[in-house]
Amino acid sequence: MSENKGKTAFARIMSNTTTIVVGRVLNAICSFIYVPLTVQAAGLNGFGNMLLITSYLILISDITHLHSWQPLVHYGTMSLREKNFREFNQILTFCMRSDGLSGMIGTIFGLCGIAVFGNLLAWPSDIKSLAEVCSITILFMNRGWPVGALRLLDKFKIATTIELVGTITRTVGSFIGYEYKCGLSFFVFLWCFTQIALFAIYNIVALRFIHEATRQRFPWKELFFPTIQIPGIWKLTLGTSLNEILQAFFKQISTLLIGAWMGAGDAAIFRVASQITNALAKPANMMIPALYPEFIRSRDDGNVKELKYILMRIYATISILAVVVLTVSITLGSNILNYMLHHSIPQGGMLIAILATSAMIDISVVPLEPLLTVMGRVYSVLHAKAFAIIVYMPVLFELTKYFGIWGAAGSAVVASTIMLWWCSIAATKIFALTYPSENT
């Protein structure tokens, strides 16, 4: 019986993951259109400056917002299943307040950060002014609660469609910018407009589906005057948010530092190369949103056999994906990079191969992070990422100093290896300590 349940859970995971992957593939196809158009219109340095601005905005948004979708899925699953709408409304409005507060704090931090760190990042005055204007976009970049609501209600296709609308908007806008020979400012504002449009669509659609699921009026009173305290919700929210903050810092800081040390052109090369390898690894990374609900169900049922079965099947799938990622990166990576940037990048194949190695190691961590989170070991993941970043920063500096962007790629391999080592040990301890009878 538990094996049959495991098969059903795995089937749901793969179905939802496939839906997300299809959306990501379509988004990637669009990126093959809008990235070259942007490079041709704004130039490689202009495109690099755009990436520096957007990387900064994404970094500030990620490090200041509370990832409210995780507590919504974590606590809201049981409340919604049991039709305890009063408790569910408290969880929902908590997540809404978190998103709003995070957006305001992020905007303030974004403006202050440009004033303090603009010169340190070697940004010209016109780039700093443009970034300051665009910082208001941070208010609309946190879409935690609507994303969580759609995942909770198993509306993965809807979320994928919304993301695709945003990508198509950016693609059409990039074509207009290319045709009319627009400069850097147009493409940066286009990116900002896309973020605001996604925010509006996500919130409207999520509110509609929440109403359909609960048949309740919107809980305005609970939004401003909460009446129920949810034990542990702040601990989970802060823990998962700190975890994501470290992940965001790791992803964005390298682009900003390379831009400061080597210039916008090299930052663009490194960022696009990273995006290519990340796109190849996306099918595995897209399992994470689908894994949380299934791991939570197995945990609540105390079904360790189902957990193990799901993990076994996932790692079998990941092994196949890893082989595909490495093969495509080695054989086609250099050509893809040259096409995207419309420049011939010396030793671009080596850069792609190194980053692909890091991506394959990251793929191996994919099932472990949600497992540790739902089993109450979120701070173990947090410690792993903190330690990886502590090691990563000096390694990034030294390797970039001597080997340029190829050294920066090598430092990513070091950080990924640390994450896999730490999370593997933590996951092994979970099964040994939490379910000792199942290991005998």
**What is the residue extent of each domain of the chain?**
2-439
pTM: 0.72
pLDDT bracket for residue 178 (50, 70, 90)? very high
Q: Is the pLDDT of residue 440 over 70?
A: no
- Is the confidence at residue 132, as pLDDT, over 90? yes
Residues 6+ apart with CB under 8 A from 27: 163, 164, 167
Q: What is the pLDDT of residue 154?
A: 80
Percent of the chain at pLDDT > 70 equals: 85
d(CA 50, CA 38): 10
Contact by Cβ (8 Å): 67, 240:
yes
Kindly tell me if the per-residue pLDDT of 50 is higher than 90.
Answer: yes
- The mean of the pLDDT values for the chain is 81
Confidence category of residue 283, pLDDT binned at 50, 70, 90:
low
pLDDT greater than 70 at residue 3: no
**pLDDT attached to residue 414:** 92
What would the two tokens of residue 323 be?
């082989």
**Cα–Cα distances in Å, from 203 out to 76, 137, 147, 159?**
18, 16, 9, 11
SS3 state at 129: helix
Between 311 and 4, name the one with better pLDDT. 311
User: Residues 258-291, buried b or exposed e (16+ Cβ, 10 A)?
Assistant: bbbbbebbbbbbbbbbbbbbbbbbbbbbbbebbb
Predicted local distance difference test score (pLDDT) of residue 293:
61
Q: Which of 226-240, 269-283, 286-300 has the highest mean pLDDT?
A: 269-283
Range among 86-90, 146-150, 248-252, 254-258 with highest mean pLDDT value: 146-150
**pLDDT score at 257:** 83
Query: How far is residue 86 from each of residues 89, 172, 237, 437, measured CA to CA in Å?
Result: 5, 43, 20, 38
* Per-residue pLDDT, 86: 80
For residue 394, give the H/E element and its range. Answer: helix 378-403
CA angle 126, 131, 133 (to 5 degrees): 100
Q: How high is the pLDDT of residue 205?
A: 94
Q: Is the pLDDT of residue 393 over 80?
A: yes
| Beta-carbon contacts of residue 294 (< 8 Å; ≥ 6 apart) | 9, 10, 12, 13, 310
Q: Does pLDDT of 6 surpass 60?
A: no
Decide if pLDDT at 377 tops 80. Answer: no
Q: How buried is residue 81: exposed, middle or buried, by Cβ count under 10 Å (0-12/13-18/19+)?
A: exposed
More confident of the two residues 146 and 279: 146
- The pLDDT of 89-96, averaged and rounded, is 85
Across 169-183, 214-228, 341-355, which has the greatest mean pLDDT?
A: 169-183
Find the mean pLDDT for residues 97-102.
88
Q: Is the predicted pLDDT of residue 312 greater than 50, yes or no? A: yes
| Mean pLDDT, residues 409-414 taken together | 91
The string of pLDDT tens digits covering residues 179-211 is: 998 999 999 999 999 999 999 999 999 999 988
